[in-house]
Amino acid sequence: MYLVIVLTFLFYPNRMNHYCIIILWLSPSVLSAQSTVDSLNQALKTNLENPEKAYTLDELSYQWFYDDLDSSLFYGKMAFKEFSKLDDPKGLSQAATSVAIAYHYMNNWDSAEFYHKQALTIRKENELDRVASSLNNLGVMFMDQEDYEEATNYYIQAMEVRQQSNDTIGVALTKTNLGLIFKKQGNYNKALDYYNDAIASLEKNKQYRYLEVAFLNMGAIYNTLEKYDSAALYNNRLRILAQKNSSKRNLAKSYVNLANSYQGLGLLDSSLYYATLGLEFFESRNDTLNIANALLSIAQNQLESKNFERAISSSKKLEELNNFIGNKEMAIENKLILANAYAALNDYENAYIWLENSFYQKDSFLTKSLNETISDLTFKYETEQKEREISELKIANQDAIIAEQQAANQRNLLLFLAGFLILAAILLFVLLRTKAKSNTLIAKSLNEKETLLKEIHHRVKNNLQVISSLLSLQSRFIEDESAQALVNEGQNRVKSMALIHQKLYQKDNLMGVEALDYIQNLTNTLQSAYGINSDKVKVSYDIDNLILDVDTMIPIGLILNELISNSFKHAFPSGEGSMQIEFKENQHKLLLTVTDNGVGHTTDINELDSFGMRMIKSLSRKLEATIDFNFSKGTKASLTIESYKLYN
């Protein structure tokens, strides 16, 4: 059974309260939270002077948030522009957060990150008591993009700030967010521990509005664990609390969660009723992600109700919507619903197509295993087709023989016709039996691969992310700077490999990695890791349109990681300079060059015995490559690779 897991829970707080629910904090406004849009617009017509005008615009951004994100963004940007003219950092950070939240709900991640970081910078300089809320908001944004490592990093920073200031409510809310990370990674017991701690603290401090998010996630976890009675209990607690607090979006989310709980309990009519209520609300708000969650619940309900045509229709709507959202987990579940629906209608060709599409979402660790499974299904399908063609040819040949016999002898024709009918009946029986067995095997394979797919996805997807996170957490407790640097270098090496698997996961081609896209992302990651200002250290690229297989790209990525890291650490003591990365194919060889205009190197490179240099030499031997260094103008490292594999 496919269950909707609620991934995003964003709420504006009461404007007069310094805390915010899971997830986003907004500063208090000078206007009353009860002011209507009409009265605020009327106030603007009176030619208000700043700062009243700026705060009025920001309040309009808040008021429009629940009904019209475009209007919310419009007024938020106007407020940011007005605050930029004033010496009011508190108002400016508030307006930046309003704009960031609107962009967040529109899935415009780059703009949301830009304005969240604007707010964080302002608060670090002027509002230390608001720093934790901006850190938390960035954690939410990265979590919704499924970058759990970066999200955890920001949540931990927010937790540390709140613990230092004895902010018990803020700590409880951050625990709610960390619980969501554990839920997404499949560590449900740990997630439940965090949620129970948060609920106890929030109830003790009578923060009932913030309990909505904890109830929402508890219900979702119990749905995932198939403990539907407990799930229904928490989802109904959320429904009652959200109605009391007039939290319309959380109320709609409780409907979708309840739909999944009742579906698990076999109450399909109730499930469809609540899922439809949730869908109607989210469609009225153009909330694309939650529209998708509701459609997924409805499609699964229709599949289990044996309304296969409707299930296909709902799933195709979701497929079109998810092309914009890009939620991989949802895409896999939806494709499997389509595969099962088509299989139930005996349309095994389409069932196979959707099953194959779902396999393309998987991590490259399992590419070989998945390809073997698909090949097995392909063989069975093509065998069935060939057997059908052979039987049709046999029937055609027998018809020709009958025609010739008829002209010669009527009696022989009748005898032959009787024999042919018997043979045809036998052939038909064999064909039907063979097809029935083949259909049963394909249907069974669909179910088995569905279970395998979910289990594989859960275990593989986070392996390298967990390793990197563990290294990051471990480095926080290492006091020796040289040891800490070694751990950080190890983390960067893990990230360089993880980035390759991420690129494979995000592309249709699971066997090859686009060199330009990978190298640019790796360089940007290392720039961020070493605190390099991209405006002062310019990086240029001259890279052919190459797609390399994993066994070639991993050692190249590790070598690049060492060369680029070395330049960022040592080449630019003044903080300014330039770097050029070239990667080309010429005469059946790959030429990789990393050049910087930094201070260069005075030691003979052959005398160096660092771990990084030993790794470069070892990986070069694997690639049958020669490496050369030139220090006449900065540092130039050239690698000529003879053993490699390209994909077209």
Q: Is 39 helix (H, G, I), strand (E, B) or coil?
A: helix
**What is d(CA 355, CA 338) in angstroms, rounded to the nearest whole number?**
8
Instruction: Indicate whether 213 belongs to any domain.
Output: no
Structure tokens at 177: 């967010």
pLDDT band at 560 (very low <50, low <70, confident <90, very high): very high
Tell me: do 373 and 349 sit in the same domain: no
Indicate whether 313 and 390 sit together in one domain. no
CB 200 within 8 A of CB 179: no
Question: Does the pLDDT value for residue 591 go beyond 70?
Answer: yes
Say yes or no: 445 and 478 in one domain: no
Measure CA 12 to chain center: 24
Q: Is the pLDDT confidence value at 24 over 80?
A: no
Which of 17-26, 132-141, 177-186, 301-310 is least confident? 17-26
322 and 423 inside one domain = no
Q: Check residue 399 and give its pLDDT.
A: 66
Q: Are residues 354 and 395 in the same domain?
A: no
**Both structure tokens of 110:** 């780059």
Query: The domain containing residue 238 runs over which residues?
Result: 227-361
Yes or no: say if 365 and 460 are a contact pair by the CB < 8 Å rule. Answer: yes
38 lies in some domain: no
**Angle of CA points 69, 71, 74, to nearest 5°:** 110
**Residue 648 pLDDT:** 64
**Cα 218 to the chain's mean position, in Å?**
21
Higher pLDDT, 310 or 415: 310
**What distance lies between CA 565 and its chain's CA centroid?**
28
Q: Do 578 and 513 fall within a single domain?
A: yes
Name the percent of the chain lying above pLDDT 70: 75
Q: Which pLDDT does position 129 carry in this prediction?
A: 81
Please indicate, yes or no, if residue 206 is contained in any of the structural domains: no
- Statement: residue 167 has pLDDT above 70: yes
Q: Domain boundary at 302, 329, 361, which?
A: 361
- 458 pLDDT tier (thresholds 50, 70, 90): very low
Highest mean pLDDT among 70-79, 387-396, 415-424, 577-586: 577-586
Q: For residue 178, what pLDDT band results from cuts at 50, 70 and 90?
A: confident
- pLDDT tens by residue, 321-353: 888 887 777 888 888 898 899 988 998 888 888
Instruction: Report the pLDDT averaged over residues 258-273.
Output: 92
Question: Residue 96 domain-assigned?
Answer: no
- In this structure, of 294-308, 340-354, 433-447, 570-584, the range with the lowest mean pLDDT score is 433-447
Kindly state the average pLDDT of the residues 162-169.
Answer: 87
Residue range 362-418, pLDDT digits in tens: 543 334 333 343 334 334 433 544 565 566 666 766 666 666 666 666 777 777 777
Question: What pLDDT was estimated at residue 48?
Answer: 73
**Given pLDDT bands bounded at 50, 70 and 90, which one contains residue 462?**
low
- DSSP code per residue over 543-571: E---EEEHHHHHHHHHHHHHHHHHHHHHT
Q: Is residue 397 part of a domain?
A: yes
CA separation for the pair 605, 590 (Å, rounded): 22
Q: Identify which of 159, 149, 140 has the alpha carbon closest to the alpha carbon of residue 213.
A: 140
The pLDDT of residue 444 is 65
10 alpha-carbon distance from chain centroid: 17
Residue 21 is predicted with a pLDDT of: 32
**349 and 390 fall within a common domain:** no
| pLDDT at residue 121 in the model | 93
> Rounded to whole angstroms, how far apart are CA atoms 586 and 186?
46
Q: Examine the domain organization and report whether 232 and 379 are in the same domain.
A: no
| Six-digit token string for 253 | 């989310």
CB 254 within 8 A of CB 216: yes
Cβ within 8 Å of residue 389, ≥6 positions away: none
Across all residues in the chain, what is the average pLDDT? 78
> What is the structure's pLDDT at 575?
86
| Token pair belonging to 240 | 């009652």
Band (638; pLDDT cuts 50, 70, 90): very high
DSSP 3-state of 578:
strand
pTM for the predicted model, two decimal places: 0.44
Structurally, the chain folds into a number of domains equal to 3
Asked if residue 577 and residue 506 are part of one domain, the reply reads yes
What's at 472, amino acid-wise?
A: S
Q: Give residue 556's pLDDT band: very low, low, confident or very high (50, 70, 90).
A: very high
Q: What single DSSP character describes residue 580?
A: E
User: Which of the four pLDDT bands, split at 50, 70 and 90, describes residue 82?
Assistant: confident
| 278 and 249 assigned to the same domain | yes
Residue 509 lies in a domain: yes
Of 428, 454, 480, the position where a domain reaches its end is: 454
Q: Are residues 357 and 445 in the same domain?
A: no
